[in-house]
C-alpha cells in the first residue's frame, strides 16, 4: 500500500527516534552520573520556570530538545562548532510540529527533506546502519525539486535601529557570577548552578520566499505557524516583532518590511501561544502569573533592551533587591542593566525600567 506524504515523513522521524535513543544514552552517560537524560529535560524545564514535563527516551520531541537546547553547564555536548546538530535538530523540530497537527498538509518535498535531515544527522553521529536505512527511505521518495541545504544564519533583527545606535556603547561584560548563580541550582546536580541565560533560536532555512508570498495557501500558512510555534517555545517570552523577523529569515528574506511582518503575525491567532498586551508572545508551558525567572546575559552581544520583557526585568529586580536590600533604586537599576549586558540608563531604558518597578511594587 502506498504511503501518504505525512506517513513517509513520520516514518523518517520514527527511524530517527529508534536510532537516536541508544546514541544519546551512550554519548551522555559520562556526564550524567547515572541520571536518565529524560530527567535532565524535566530539570531544564524547572530551571527555566516552565511546568516540568515527563519525557520518554524514544520520543523524538524529547530527543530533539536535547539536541537543540543548552544543557546548563554542559552546554551543547552533542554538537560541533558549526552547530550542525542543533541546526538539523531545529529543522526536524519543525517537521515534528507538522506531524503533531493532523490538519497540516505535507507534500513529497517535505517528506524528502525530513528523510534527508535524518540521513545527515545520523551521518554526523557515525551511525552507518541508520544512515543506510534513512537513505533508502529518502531515495524512494520522489522529489518535486531540490531540497535547500540546512544552514545556520546569524540573525540581527532590524526594526530597532534607533535603540541600537543609542545602546551600542552600552554593551557590558557578562553579568557577574552572583547574578548568574541560581540559588536553587538543579536537583540533579548535573546542569550546574547557573541560571539559564537567553538562547537564540538556532536559525535554519525552512523554505523560500514563495511561502511568505502565498500565505493564503493553506500549506504555506501552516508552515509559518509551525515556525512561529517553535520559535516561541524556544525563545519565549519573545517580542512579536522578533518572531516575525526570524520567520521571514527562515523563509529566505533578509530585509523585512512592516507589511511582511504583519502578514506573518496574523497567523498567531491560530497558534497555541499566549500573547500579552506589551507585544510579547509566551509559550503555553509558562504560567505568566507565577513566572519568576530571568535570563541573564552570559556573553556575546546582548539582546536589544526593548526585546527583554518587562516581567523579566522585574524578576531580576526582585532578585537583586533581596540580595542588596540597602541599595537605592538607581543603584539597583544599574545592577539590573548589568544583568542583561548593559550599563547606560538612556531615555528609552529609563522608561522601561519605570514599567519594571511598577510590576515589582505591585507584587512586592
Positive or negative, the Cα torsion across 267, 273, 278, 280? negative
- Per-residue model confidence as pLDDT tens digits over 313-350: 999 999 999 989 999 999 999 999 999 999 889 999 99
- Residue-wise DSSP of 160-195: -HHHHHHHGGGB-PPPPHHHHB-TT--TTSSS-SB-
| Contacts for 336 with CB less than 8 Å, ≥ 6 apart | 313, 316, 317, 320, 353, 356
Grid coordinates in use for 111?
A: 517528506
Say what the pTM is. 0.86
- The three-state secondary structure class of 342 is strand
Do residues 40 and 70 touch, judged by C-beta distance below 8 A?
no
Do residues 118 and 250 touch, judged by C-beta distance below 8 A?
no
Q: Is the peptide bond before 219 cis (omega within 30 degrees of 0)?
A: no
- Per-residue model confidence as pLDDT tens digits over 91-137: 999 999 999 989 999 989 899 999 999 999 999 999 999 999 999 99
Q: Can you give the pLDDT at residue 167?
A: 47
pLDDT higher than threshold 90 for residue 51:
no
Count of other CB atoms within 10 angstroms of residue 56: 12
- Per-residue model confidence as pLDDT tens digits over 151-167: 444 444 444 444 444 44
Dihedral (C-alpha) 324, 330, 336, 342: value to the nearest 10 degrees? -140
- Per-residue model confidence as pLDDT tens digits over 171-194: 566 677 667 676 665 665 677 777
pLDDT higher than threshold 50 for residue 261:
yes
Amino acid at each position: 500500500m502506498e504511503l501518504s506524504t505525512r506517513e513517509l515523513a513520520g516514518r523518517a522521524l520514527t527511524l530517527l527516534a529508534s536510532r537516536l535513543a541508544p546514541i544519546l544514552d551512550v554519548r551522555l552517560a559520562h556526564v550524567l552520573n547515572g541520571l536518565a537524560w529524560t530527567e535532565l529535560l524535566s530539570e531544564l524545564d524547572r530551571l527555566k520556570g516552565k511546568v516540568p514535563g515527563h519525557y520518554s527516551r524514544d520520543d523524538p520531541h524529547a530527543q530533539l530538545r536535547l539536541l537543540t537546547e543548552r544543557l546548563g553547564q554542559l552546554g551543547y555536548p552533542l554538537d560541533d562548532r558549526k552547530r550542525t546538530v542543533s541546526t538539523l535538530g531545529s529543522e526536524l523540530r519543525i517537521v515534528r510540529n507538522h506531524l503533531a497537527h493532523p490538519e497540516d498538509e505535507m507534500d513529497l518535498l517535505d517528506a524528502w527533506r525530513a528523510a534527508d535531515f535524518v540521513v545527515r544527522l545520523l551521518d554526523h553521529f557515525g551511525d552507518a546502519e541508520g544512515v543506510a536505512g534513512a537513505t533508502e527511505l529518502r531515495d524512494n521518495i520522489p522529489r518535486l525539486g531540490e531540497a535547500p541545504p540546512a544552514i545556520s544564519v546569524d540573525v540581527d533583527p532590524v526594526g530597532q535601529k534607533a535603540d541600537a545606535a543609542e545602546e551600542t556603547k552600552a554593551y557590558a561584560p557578562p553579568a557577574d557570577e552572583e547574578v548568574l548563580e541560581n540559588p536553587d541550582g538543579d536537583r540533579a546536580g548535573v546542569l550546574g548552578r547557573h541560571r539559564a541565560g537567553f538562547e537564540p533560536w538556532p536559525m535554519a532555512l525552512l523554505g523560500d520566499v514563495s511561502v511568505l508570498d502565498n500565505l493564503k495557501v493553506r500549506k504555506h500558512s501552516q508552515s509559518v505557524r509551525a515556525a512561529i510555534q517553535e520559535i516561541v517555545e524556544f525563545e519565549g517570552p519573545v517580542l512579536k516583532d522578533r518572531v516575525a523577523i526570524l520567520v521571514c529569515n527562515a523563509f529566505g528574506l533578509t530585509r523585512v518590511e512592516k507589511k511582511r511582518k504583519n502578514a506573518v503575525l496574523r497567523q498567531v491567532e491560530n497558534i497555541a501561544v499566549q500573547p500579552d498586551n506589551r507585544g510579547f508572545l509566551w509559550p503555553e508551558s509558562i504560567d505568566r502569573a507565577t513566572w519568576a525567572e530571568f535570563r541573564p546575559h552570559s556573553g556575546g552581544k546582548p539582546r536589544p533592551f526593548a526585546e527583554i520583557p518587562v516581567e523579566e526585568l522585574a524578576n531580576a529586580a526582585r532578585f537583586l533587591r533581596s540580595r542588596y536590600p540597602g541599595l537605592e533604586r538607581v543603584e539597583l537599576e544599574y545592577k539590573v542593566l548589568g544583568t542583561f549586558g548593559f550599563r547606560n540608563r538612556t531615555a528609552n531604558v529609563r522608561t522601561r525600567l519605570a514599567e519594571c518597578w511598577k510590576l515589582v511594587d505591585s507584587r512586592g
